[in-house]
Amino acid sequence: MAKATYDFQTSAQPETVYRAVSTAEGFAGWWCRTSTVDARIGGEAEFRFYGGEAIMVFRFDKLEPNRQVEMTCIRTHNANPARQADKWQGTRLAFEVKPGDGGNTAVHLQHDGWAETVGEDVLAQIRQGWNHFGNSLQQYVETGKGMPYDDPPA
């Protein structure tokens, strides 16, 4: 099954990483400024891109403080087919946080569950996106400043 992954080690504490992947403030700091998050099992997180042309809504399936977050994309809105948001429905996004080398924190991001019909060109875009946002997550937990998506001013 196709997947996108990103791994890094950081001096940031596990609770810092966990907050980054389980709160509206955290997601806004590294992934998407226009997000709403209800971080509880069954709660939803909505991420809006391109002025709302692409929206992905995830349901929290697992929340283990300072260890693990898993969520499933349950709804999408795709006003512009070029944005590919509809391809995300049914996919799973997971973050694992555990002790790393030399007292560091190891972080594993995995996005899987892509339909077999999703082409390699789309998967390449997804992997490229997670390379950017994985790097953004690492910068955010280490410096407090990531590189999240932000709609340009109108």
pLDDT, averaged across the chain:
94
Cα separation, 135 vs 25, in Å, equals: 17
- Please check whether residue 15 lies inside any domain of the structure: yes
Q: Which parts of the chain register pLDDT below 70?
A: 1, 154
- Please check whether residue 88 lies inside any domain of the structure: yes
Cα separation, 73 vs 56, in Å, equals: 7
- Please check whether residue 114 lies inside any domain of the structure: yes
Here the CATH number for the domain that contains residue 137 is 3.30.530.20
Total number of domains in the chain: 1
- Please check whether residue 19 lies inside any domain of the structure: yes
- Please check whether residue 150 lies inside any domain of the structure: no
Can you give the pTM of this predicted structure? 0.94
Range of the domain at 35: 3-143
Half-sphere exposure of 9 (CA within 13 A, CB side): 6
Which residues touch 147 (CB under 8 Å, ≥6 apart)? 30, 132, 133, 135, 136, 139
Question: Are the C-beta atoms of 122 and 24 separated by less than 8 Å?
Answer: no
Q: β-strands 68-78, 54-64: how paired?
A: antiparallel
CA angle 28, 70, 40 (to 5 degrees): 70
DSSP 9-78: EESS-HHHHHHHTTSHHHHHHHTBSSEEE--STT-EEEEEEGGGTEEEEEEEEEEETTTEEEEEEEEEEE
- Please check whether residue 23 lies inside any domain of the structure: yes
> Of 34, 106, 113, 93, which is closest to residue 66 (Cα–Cα)?
106
- Please check whether residue 54 lies inside any domain of the structure: yes
Q: What confidence score (pLDDT) does residue 154 get?
A: 61
- pLDDT tens digits for 27-43? 999 999 999 999 999 99
